[in-house]
Amino acid sequence: MNPIAHTRPLLRALLLAAALFGTACSPFKAQPDADIGMLRSEHRYVSALAQLEKMRAKNPDYPTQRQEIVEEASLYQAQLLLSLRNLMEQNEFARAQQMLNTAIPELPENAELATFNAEFTRERDRYAQVRLDELYQLRGEHLLAEQPLYQSLQGIAGDYDLQIAVERFQADANYFAKLLREAGLQAMANEDYTAAQKYLATSNQLLPSSEVGAALQEAARAIAQEQEQVQQSHANEREQRYRKFESGLLQAMKTQDYAVARTQLARLRETGLHTSAVDRYRRQLAEAIRAFVNARTDSGNKHYADGHIEAALKDWRKAYALSPSAELKERIEKADKFLERYQNLKQAPQTSATPAR
């Protein structure tokens, strides 16, 4: 027998096994990397870490790859939470909840994510309860509008279906009265007394009770107290503004800055406070301005008589700015023209006379 021919089947089997082994091994090495890349592109970081963990024994780059995935997950989480907070500010809780439900299972657990999730749940539930309370109030108002009609039918409705309708109305009125009572009491606990008064009033009209009546009185007292505090706060603010303008007025009068003093006096009058004091300041300012104008006018006249035209103009203009008059205007214009002619003469070229021969 030919030994080569005898070994051919064995050799063929070995080559086939090697080929199969190579074909099987090649995808086994490449496929997990491809899967992890796809998972990361889909922000499925927990799944990517789990897949990486399966390759840990045969993957020398395991620590580096794991750190990359964790850091990428942390960056994605920061961007996600920013988007979710923006949606919360817009009261888009349904969209935010959908994003959160998708993201949380695939993000590594951490304190920041847990804290945000708890905060989101509180805000979502609060928003939902506010909307529900508003719906209860609307339904309660509708029932109150229908109440007189149904009450007129009680005891006289002979038709069976009509009796059932009256009973169903009363059941609805009782049901929403209880819901509104709970909403009102919760609003009281939250110190939202205006909302509490609204819900409790509707509840008490639908289903009167001593508990709701007492809560209504408490809400009314709290609202009155709040209004008193607001009024007192406004009064304090007005008083502070008055004192600020008063201080500015006195300082301006002290420095003879009478234009500013007039502005401060106008602001004092706008506060509507201490009218007698404001009137006294008005008289004092008017007298101070009159004395100042007279003094500047007299000083300007003296400077003009002495030939100091620029000094005279300076005094007259100060007086005119506070108390314009035709007389002062004429003096200022006259002095301006004199200075203009004087400057023109100074700038004119000098011509020397030629001696006659």
pLDDT tens digits, residue range 26-51? 333 445 566 999 999 999 999 999 99
Cα separation values, 69 from 37, 39, 44, 57, 101, Å: 10, 10, 10, 18, 20
pLDDT tens digits, residue range 226-274? 999 999 999 999 999 999 999 999 999 999 999 999 999 999 999 999 9
Average pLDDT, the chain: 88
Lowest mean pLDDT among 58-67, 85-94, 156-165, 275-284: 156-165
pLDDT over threshold 50, residue 69: yes
pLDDT category of residue 343 using cuts at 50, 70 and 90 = confident
Question: Given this model, what pLDDT does residue 285 score?
Answer: 95
pLDDT over threshold 60, residue 4: no
Question: Given this model, what pLDDT does residue 230 score?
Answer: 94
Q: What is the DSSP letter of 108?
A: -
Q: pLDDT exceeding 90 applies to what percent of the chain? A: 77
Q: 304 and 339 in contact (C-beta within 8 Å)?
A: no
The mean pLDDT value for 196-219 works out to 96
pLDDT category of residue 13 using cuts at 50, 70 and 90 = very low
Residue 69 and residue 58: Cα distance in Å, rounded? 18
The residues, ordered by sequence, that sit 6+ positions from 99 with a Cβ below 8 Å of its Cβ are 80, 83, 84, 87
Over its C-alpha atoms, the chain yields an Rg (Å, rounded) of 46
pLDDT over threshold 60, residue 224: yes
Residue 309 and residue 171: Cα distance in Å, rounded? 97
Residue 91 and residue 124: Cα distance in Å, rounded? 8
Q: Which residue has the higher pLDDT, 337 or 155?
A: 337
Question: Given this model, what pLDDT does residue 295 score?
Answer: 95
CA-based nearest residue to 204, from 218, 191, 190:
218
The residues, ordered by sequence, that sit 6+ positions from 88 with a Cβ below 8 Å of its Cβ are 96, 120, 123
Helical segments of the chain, H only: 3-41, 45-54, 62-89, 93-103, 111-153, 160-189, 193-206, 210-254, 258-271, 275-305, 309-322, 326-347
pLDDT category of residue 25 using cuts at 50, 70 and 90 = very low
Q: 134 and 187 in contact (C-beta within 8 Å)?
A: no
pLDDT category of residue 311 using cuts at 50, 70 and 90 = very high
Q: What is the pTM of this model?
A: 0.58
The mean pLDDT value for 297-309 works out to 93
The residues, ordered by sequence, that sit 6+ positions from 45 with a Cβ below 8 Å of its Cβ are 39, 69, 70, 72, 73, 76, 106, 107, 108
Identity at 301, one-letter amino acid code: N
**DSSP string for 222-262:** HHHHHHHHHHHHHHHHHHHHHHHHHHHHHHHHHTT-HHHHH
pLDDT tens digits, residue range 122-173? 999 999 999 999 999 999 999 999 999 988 887 776 778 888 888 899 999 9
Domain ranges, ordered by start, for the chain: 18-109, 290-341
